[in-house]
Amino acid sequence: MIPSDTRTRTLTRRALLGQAAFGGAAFIAAPAWSNAINLPFQNGGREITGAFPQKGEMILQRTRAPLLETPWTIFDKDVFTPNDRFYVRWHWTGIPETVDINTFRLRVHGNVERELAFSLSELMHKLPRVDLAAVNQCSGNSRGLFSPRVPGAQWGNGAMGNATWSGFRLKDLLDLAGVKAGSVQVRFAGLDEPTVEDAPPFRKSLAIDHARDGEVMVAYAMNGQALPFLNGFPLRLVVPGWYATYWMKMLTDIEVLDKPDENFWTKKAYLIPDTPHANISPGTKDVKMIPINRMVPRSFVTNFSSGARIKASAPHEVRGIAFGGDCGVAKVETSIDGGANWQPAELGPDQGKYGFRRWTAKFTSPGDGQRLSLMARCTNANGLAQPDKPNWNSSGFMRNVIETIDLVTFEEG
Amino acid sequence: MRLYVQIIAGMVTAVLLTGTAVAQDSARLKSESFDLPTGDRQFTGPRSEVANNNCLTCHSAEMVTVQAPLSKETWEKIVKKMINVYKAPVPDDDVAALVEYLSNNPAASK
């Protein structure tokens, strides 16, 4: 599969290296998966892989560029997601082969008084350290559950994770550079490159006031360790309460802009309908679109899965995780009758308003052979509750409907 | 694909413990190498060559094989986006055959 002379696009060196792997290997059937799961939607079969560096077993969504989903059982163990099970999402295959920490620089330039280029060591010593627990969630987390289905990575609910991020405030770095009057946005770039040279490199921008709000930070550690390579080593932007598309991995370039960012990924990608819950009816035309932004509340049962059988007429404990989105969790309620009646759940320790919050509740199951629709509903500190009907948009973004777990009771003996 | 990454774990730990500790010198750093899987599975079935030739440069085959079931019209939009936005070097002569192959892919068509 060597590009012929008739192809006009220039491929990067990495693309050519990637192609070499396919030479002479045509028409090999996919190997049988020794370890697989089924996500709960059509064509939901997925291989479990342990083949990626610094990662344990993950749900394989795509090998190249890597899309790896966190297996659901991980979320039942702790509110912090281990680094080696944290989900992975890359846009382009041009992930660098080397990150040399001696030559790595984070550059700040554009509409600033002083251009900066700091080494990791300089960044760690010039700027005060901050620690923050925050959920990082893909804009398209749970896309596979959209109905009607939409194209894109067909994630279950595991394209999210919670970590303690350690680093420095973006504001402090921008202050060292001196943001000039008239600045409107700050654009971020990582070390990754497109596979094809004239394709749009992955860039994202934030409004200048957001970038300087004192919460947006640059992390050099995740759960007390260096960032895993696939989660953005050595530096990653952390945008608390906002979807992960803004959390630039392998962050190396910060540009202060005096006019709005026109690049594809900011202007034309990751857009949502400007409607409540980013919800439209399939087929709706001429909808005003805006960049995806703040996350919305979600909650999940972690100790039961749909289809499970539980003991009849007996006490049970249900537990799970919740997050408020762009603010903390005010309350979580549970229902065992499909949402007709709700009881408050008990919340676990608050380890940061942007992080996961553990919750538990007790219920008594009905008699033999009965079905239960177990639900959890989070209301965030701004008073926003999860909706009882799923949203829909053509990109599969921002799902946060109340999820339902269907259980059946049985008598012992 | 072979990846060579120098880990700053030692340096990060020093900073986390002391807050202001001077980053330790490069003697604390450790070089490691990783294999990042290439995903060399091929598309199979009748006329799969057109997909193998045009899709696998930029992404592995799972992008299609675990995709949602999609209509031919949607696959056509996707192929055009790959060409026009992501600059996939697909020859004009291959476009129709590629759409045909993708929309007849039993795993991801309807």
ipTM of the prediction:
0.89
Q: Tell me, yes or no, whether A150 and A256 share the same domain.
A: yes
Q: Tell me, yes or no, whether A214 and A332 share the same domain.
A: no
Q: Tell me, yes or no, whether A261 and A383 share the same domain.
A: no
Q: Is the pLDDT of residue B17 over 70?
A: no
What strands, in cross-sheet order, belong to the sheet with A106-110? A116-118, A106-110, A251-257, A185-190, A203-207
Cross-chain residue pair A9–B89, CB shorter than 8 Å: yes
* Of residues B8, B62, B91, nearest to A226 (C-beta): B8
Examine residue A17 and state whether it is found in any structural domain, yes or no.
no
Q: Is the pLDDT of residue A113 over 80?
A: yes
Query: What is the Cα–Cα distance from A157 to B59, expressed in whole angstroms?
Result: 23
Query: What is the Cα–Cα distance from A171 to A211, expressed in whole angstroms?
Result: 7
Q: Tell me, yes or no, whether A263 and A309 share the same domain.
A: no
First to last CA, chain A: 62
Q: Is the pLDDT of residue A407 over 70?
A: yes
* Of residues B36, B69, B107, nearest to A53 (C-beta): B36
Q: Tell me, yes or no, whether A253 and A309 share the same domain.
A: no
Q: Is the pLDDT of residue A6 over 90?
A: no
Lowest mean pLDDT across A108-112, A284-288, A292-296: A284-288
Examine residue A217 and state whether it is found in any structural domain, yes or no.
yes
* Of residues A41, A63, A101, nearest to B8 (C-beta): A101
pLDDT in tens, A206-263: 999 999 999 999 999 999 999 999 999 999 999 999 999 999 999 999 999 999 999 9
Residue pointed to by tokens 């405030």: A169
Please say whether the beta carbons of B3 and A53 come within 8 A. yes
Query: What is the Cα–Cα distance from A50 to A348, expressed in whole angstroms?
Result: 32
Average pLDDT, chain B: 77
Q: Tell me, yes or no, whether A308 and A237 share the same domain.
A: no
Cross-chain residue pair A43–B68, CB shorter than 8 Å: yes
| Domain end point (choices A253, A269, A285) | A269
Examine residue A231 and state whether it is found in any structural domain, yes or no.
yes
Separation in Å, CA of B107 to nearest CA in chain A: 6
Q: How confident is the model at residue A268 (pLDDT cuts 50, 70, 90)?
A: very high
* Of residues A27, A62, A195, nearest to B42 (C-beta): A27
Model pLDDT, residue B110: 64
Examine residue A288 and state whether it is found in any structural domain, yes or no.
no
Which of A245, A180, A170, A173 lies closest to A210, judged by CA?
A170
Question: In chain A, what residues touch B52 (CB-CB under 8 Å)?
Answer: 1, 22, 26
Examine residue A374 and state whether it is found in any structural domain, yes or no.
yes
**Residue scoring higher pLDDT (A29 or A261):** A261
SS3 call for A175: helix
Cross-chain residue pair B57–A45, CB shorter than 8 Å: no
B15 contacts chain A (CB < 8 A): yes
Examine residue A277 and state whether it is found in any structural domain, yes or no.
no
First to last CA, chain B: 35
Cross-chain residue pair B36–A125, CB shorter than 8 Å: no
User: Which residues of A215-286 form beta strands (DSSP E)?
Assistant: 217-222, 225-226, 236-238, 251-257, 271-273
DSSP single-letter state for residue A41:
S
Cross-chain residue pair A11–B89, CB shorter than 8 Å: yes
Q: Tell me, yes or no, whether A122 and A233 share the same domain.
A: yes
Q: How confident is the model at residue B105 (pLDDT cuts 50, 70, 90)?
A: confident
The Cα diameter of chain A in Å comes to 77
Q: Which domain holds residue A199?
A: 106-269
**Residue scoring higher pLDDT (A229 or A12):** A229
Cross-chain residue pair A61–B1, CB shorter than 8 Å: no
Q: Tell me, yes or no, whether A256 and A302 share the same domain.
A: no
**In order of start, what are the domains of chain B with their CATH numbers?**
2-35 (no CATH), 49-103 (1.10.760.10)
Examine residue A36 and state whether it is found in any structural domain, yes or no.
no
Cis check for the bond before A234: say yes or no (omega within 30 of 0). yes
Question: In chain A, what residues touch B49 (CB-CB under 8 Å)?
Answer: 26
| Dihedral, CA of residue A282, residue A283, residue A286 and residue A290, to nearest 10 | 30
DSSP single-letter state for residue A188:
E
Q: Tell me, yes or no, whether A302 and A196 share the same domain.
A: no
Nearest CA in chain A to B76: A151
Model pLDDT, residue A229: 92
Q: Tell me, yes or no, whether A305 and A229 share the same domain.
A: no
Q: Tell me, yes or no, whether A182 and A241 share the same domain.
A: yes
Residue pointed to by tokens 């420095």: A168
**Per the structure, how many domains does chain A have?**
2
Query: What is the Cα–Cα distance from A362 to A345, expressed in whole angstroms?
Result: 8
Q: Tell me, yes or no, whether A309 and A256 share the same domain.
A: no
CATH of residue A395's domain is: 2.60.40.650
Question: In chain B, what residues touch A45 (CB-CB under 8 Å)?
Answer: 66
Model pLDDT, residue A64: 96
Which of A188, A183, A300, A321 lies closest to A242, judged by CA?
A188
Cross-chain residue pair A30–B65, CB shorter than 8 Å: yes
Cβ count within 10 A of residue A171: 17
CATH of residue A222's domain is: 3.90.420.10
Examine residue A45 and state whether it is found in any structural domain, yes or no.
no
